[in-house]
């Protein structure tokens, strides 16, 4: 995700400094080159050796390192594409707002031209204090990017605002800073994702093995390219990208209602959900008891979201997914024509790496002109990014 990106993480004094260890580890796992700089107070909570081990680079602690040199903060200020101050203490925010550079971290921040994100973490009274809020606003006015803290239990035992933002929200903010593009700027994209569940009784349901990973990756990719994204999702364990508007549904009928009601407000529809084709004719009010004889379940057809959307398509771009186990191209071409699609993404779950609950996909694209394009095995994030590029091209044609 962050291959080729240099990210500098600044750590200040606060109990939540231990959470920054996980942040650094995950950034490194995402292929970023990570360096860490710390204040003297931060080193009282987490050792420099911990961050050196996690990042694979020396930690900057002192403006005058033992190895000599007097401009180390300039070299460190020029190195990154982004700086993340995590946690950002009230003391460091105040000094930064005042232009004070009395340690290596502050001197580096004042010398950099890279975008800086800051992630406040402190007691609730400190966070809401007018002096802190004024300092925070000064940084925002100067172009610093705030990752808003959360509300909850604080290390001091109190409850309120000031808890360090979740790691996923911090990483999302770094993604926006480093990976954002303009391909879908000003466009409104509606995406369906995940499975649907059709209840049989209070404890059982019919569903499928979809994890929702492909649809969620598409929502993130579209948002990173500037789109306003609405994600209509069936039940999943996934967390949506922070800039995405999530609508949760359960059944195919709920997904159809939520999607079709929002069509007119969007420029692009991407139907990536694995919608159940059938539902039980009748939902039992009580749990179906086990019996010695076979059980017959009458099923009825669920709404066809893409077919209904085709009737009001207009100039909107429609993209569908076609999961087939045989005659993939032929069946998908019929789907494209019948449902007035601009693009079909075809995959076969029996292909290695393209099944359910994996992080990769092997897809073939079929467009309205009959062009077929097969891609190699890629991560679902890579597939999503390339599909968004294709959609952007369709919007220009």
Phi, psi values for residue 163, rounded to 5°:
-70, 135
Q: What is the pLDDT of residues 242-264, one digit of tens each?
A: 999 999 999 999 999 999 999 99
Question: Does residue 97 surpass a pLDDT of 90?
Answer: yes
Domain assignment of residue 216, given as a range = 188-396
Co-location of 107 and 251 in the same domain:
no
Residue 1 in any domain: the answer is no
Active-site amino acid positions: 156
Q: Per-residue pLDDT tens for 25-59?
A: 999 999 999 999 999 999 999 999 999 999 999 99
The CATH number assigned to the domain holding 44 equals: 3.40.50.1950
pLDDT digits (tens, 9 = 90+) for 207-235: 999 999 999 999 999 999 999 999 999 99
Closest CA to 390 of 358, 366, 370: 366
Q: Which residues pair with 321 in a beta bridge?
A: 345
Say if residue 253 is in the same domain as residue 360: yes
378 backbone φψ class: left, alpha, beta (φ>0; ψ -120 to 50) = beta
CATH code (residue 386): 3.40.50.10300
At 323 the pLDDT is: 87
What is the rounded CA–CA span in Å between residue 128 and residue 126?
6
342 and 216, same structural domain? Answer: yes
The whole-angstrom distance between residue 302's C-alpha and the CA centroid of its chain comes to: 30
Of 134, 150, 179, which residue sits at a domain end?
179
CB atoms closer than 10 angstroms to residue 44: 11
Across the chain, mean pLDDT equals 94
pLDDT band at 288 (very low <50, low <70, confident <90, very high): very high
What integer is the mean pLDDT of 360-369? 94
Assess whether 170 and 194 both reside in one domain: no
pLDDT higher at 153 or 321: 321
Whether residue 217 contacts residue 301, with contact meaning beta carbons closer than 8 Å, is answered with no
pLDDT at site 349: 84
The set of residues, in sequence order, having a beta carbon less than 8 Å from that of 235 and lying 6+ positions away, is 194, 195, 197, 207, 248, 250
- 148: three-class secondary structure by DSSP: coil
């Amino acid at each position: 995700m962050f291959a080729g990106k240099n990210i500098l993480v600044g750590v200040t004094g606060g109990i939540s400094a231990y959470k920054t260890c996980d942040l650094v580890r995950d950034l490194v796992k995402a292929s970023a080159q990570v360096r860490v700089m710390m204040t003297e107070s931060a080193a009282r909570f987490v050792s420099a050796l911990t961050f050196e081990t996690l990042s694979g680079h020396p930690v900057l602690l002192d403006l005058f390192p033992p190895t000599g040199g007097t401009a180390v903060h300039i070299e460190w200020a020029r190195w990154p594409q982004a700086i993340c101050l995590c946690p950002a203490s009230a003391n460091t925010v105040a000094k930064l707002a005042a232009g004070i550079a009395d340690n290596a971290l502050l001197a580096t921040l004042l010398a950099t031209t890279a975008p800086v994100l800051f992630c406040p973490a402190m007691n609730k009274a400190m966070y809401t204090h007018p002096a802190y809020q004024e300092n925070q606003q000064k940084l925002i006015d100067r172009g610093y990017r705030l990752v808003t803290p959360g509300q909850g239990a604080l290390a001091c035992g109190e409850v309120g605002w000031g808890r360090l933002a979740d790691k996923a929200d911090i990483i999302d903010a770094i993604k926006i800073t480093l990976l954002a593009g303009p391909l879908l700027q000003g466009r409104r994209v509606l995406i369906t994702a995940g499975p649907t569940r059709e209840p049989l009784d209070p404890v059982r349901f019919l569903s499928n093995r979809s994890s929702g990973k492909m649809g969620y990756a598409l929502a993130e990719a579209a948002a990173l390219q500037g789109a306003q994204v609405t994600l209509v999702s069936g039940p999943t364990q996934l967390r949506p990208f922070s800039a995405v508007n999530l609508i949760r549904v359960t059944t195919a009928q709920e997904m159809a209602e939520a999607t079709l009601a929002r069509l007119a407000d969007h420029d692009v529809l991407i139907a990536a959900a694995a919608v159940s084709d059938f539902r039980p004719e009748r939902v039992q009010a009580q749990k179906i008891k086990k019996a010695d004889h076979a059980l017959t379940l009458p099923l009825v057809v669920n709404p066809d979201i893409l077919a209904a959307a085709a009737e009001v398509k207009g100039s909107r771009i429609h993209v569908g997914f076609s999961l087939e186990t045989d005659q993939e191209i032929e069946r998908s071409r019929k789907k494209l024509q019948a449902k007035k699609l601009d693009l079909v993404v075809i995959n076969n779950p029996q292909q290695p790496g393209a099944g359910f609950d994996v992080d990769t996909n092997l897809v073939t694209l079929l467009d309205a002109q009959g062009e077929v394009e097969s891609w190699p095995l890629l991560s679902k994030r890579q597939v999503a990014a390339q599909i968004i590029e294709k959609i952007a091209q369709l919007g220009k044609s």
